[in-house]
Structure 1
Amino acid sequence: MEYRRLGASGLRVPALSLGTATFGGAGDFFKAWGATDSQGASRLVDVCLDHGINMFDSADGYSAGLAEEILGGAIKGKRERVLISTKVTAPTGEGANDYGSSRYHLLRAVEASLKRLNVDHIDLLQMHRPDYNTPVEETLSTLDQLVREGKVRYIGASNFSGWHLMKSVGASERYGYARYVAHQVYYSLLNRDYEWDLMHFGHDQGVGATVWSPLGWGKLTGKIRRGQPARPGTRAHDIAGTGPAFDEERLFGIVDALDAVAGETGKTIPQIAINWLLSRPTVANVIIGARNEEQLVENAGAVGWTLTKEQIARLDEASDAPPAYPTWSQREFPALNETGLPG
């Protein structure tokens, strides 16, 4: 397994980690993603470790905390071999303070996650979503306290806007608080919005991307093609109508390009889609999901080889999309962007 530094930190993380949104299956939404039980989760953790995947990502909002609880049981006796990443800010109750990034909620949420995971510290704690109601100084001072107490090793964000990230990093530097080193982002061949602004932020400020849903909300598996809709029982079918918007014809064009590269490499379409992400600037880690051992082993095969420059260029062209303002304006002046980054 390839290991990469997480942003500007000294922490090295595997190129792939296992997401646990499929653990538990509580409620209709998470049931559509998967319903891996304790026994199945233990097996998946063992398979991951056999393939060098020793990082596991969860959240207190996954199946109302059940995913963390199942993960905690699955890593029992293996804690020194694994890295645990989890997220907070999602609602955990009906109370007025049972969500967000306030000091009140963060301290309670972290204690609850530690208990469910049955660990004494979290290796990477991420704010699941930005909380525009709470001053960033309150959030970061609380996170800094948790780091100093040894309950958290590193901190990160998830699904943040560029301005909110920059404001947070500025506050950390101003007051000497622990600094975000990771940003968990949605990024795939199907949706490349991350490149327009957030990738440039990550490159400039040393914040590494940990990518969620690398197969475009289940649409880049090769099972959806022209005249071939998603089949019942597949993730793409079961969560249809959710997720970001996309152009269907563009999806088919991307799958055609993936198919062509698959024929040249002998790799599967999911493996190529994930490998393309691993070639992108600022990407430290790609979070893979798996309902079963077969899917996990296939996704693990996305590392250990590289696409050619020509193949990457072909995938870039097939997945290119008109960017939002001001990126489209900036593209008119390429001499002003010598970083080599997209956008």
Structure 2
Amino acid sequence: MKRRLALAGAGGVVALGAAAFTARAMGGMDAYERDAASLRAPLPVPSGMADLVRHATLAPNGHNTQPWRFRLRADGVDMLPDLTRRTAVVDPDDHHLFVSLGCAAENLALAAGASGRPGQVRFDPAEGGSIAFRFGDAPVSAHELAAAITRRQSTRAEFDGSTVVGADLATLAAAAAEPGVDLVLLTDRPRIDQLRDLVVAGNTAQLGDPAFMDELTHWLRFNPRAAMAHGDGLFSGASGRPALPSWLGPTLFRTLTSAASDNDSYARQIRSSAGVAVFVGARADPEHWVRVGRACQRFALQATALGLRCAFINQPVEVAALRPALAGILGLPGRRPDIVLRFGRGPVLPYSLRRPVADVVLA
């Protein structure tokens, strides 16, 4: 009994210390929000190359690792995968990495078009799979999508449960149209509930994997100062969690994170969503993963322009054993689903940070 009381007392001291730190960290949030706002400054017209790259880096990417490098040219930009930032446990074949490159390439193309310098995106298998953007003749960009780049975020929160009307669903589907990519929109509760069960099963498997937890913890930033120092990773405040000292955050995260509570949270979030978008490439290769990223990004930007929020729930894709069941729900047996995105109306949370443009541009 005395040992249990001692542990409880120690826990109380830690809790008080964490609470005091949280209060101090709120001062750091002011600087954090200034950094986030400067990253999302409107696109100048005409734009220099630095502003185009800045907009490209605002694309979503796994664990906010930002696995890209940019090589500037007189006639455009090359985007190369940065394999030093790969997440080998959750993404062993670099699927998410190439999807992220596709999202960034779409941002770059939209921003360039909006600034008066449209161009074409082309996948190049050289250099490990790069993307070439070249200025020149191209269709006129959708300026409302370019304007949404700075406002889009992956909102890991409950939405308000309201539905999205058919006309808006059609607009979302049209924005995401991409050769070699199928989009399946789930708005009926029976199939959404089936997908929820796969998310829960995948999340349970991942949280029970020590290697997954090690990799995830490595990319967590538990307070605004840590997030600003790194310029990458998953900031706890972006998902509505309190700030913690960097020395304490990993221990508390591992101690307090449980599959049961996490799964309850995911179930509520999915239940509150208007629907789920699932993207499926025609083939499982880097070129089609880039195409999936481009389609997914246009969907997310169109959703943002319509006042909607999105959040990734990719567990049924990341846990390979669950992919066949997900493909069955979609009516696409034998295919490999690529990205799962829930959407609806919800709050704005703190935006994530990015590394400076100078850090991602090759000399």
User: TM exceeds 0.5?
Assistant: no
Query: For this structure pair, what is the TM-score category when the shorter chain's length is used for normalisation?
Result: under 0.3
* TM-score normalised by length of structure 1: 0.26
Which has a greater percent of helix? 2
Higher relative contact order (CA 8 A, sep 6+): 2
* TM-score normalised by length of structure 2: 0.25
- Structure possessing the higher radius of gyration over alpha carbons: 2
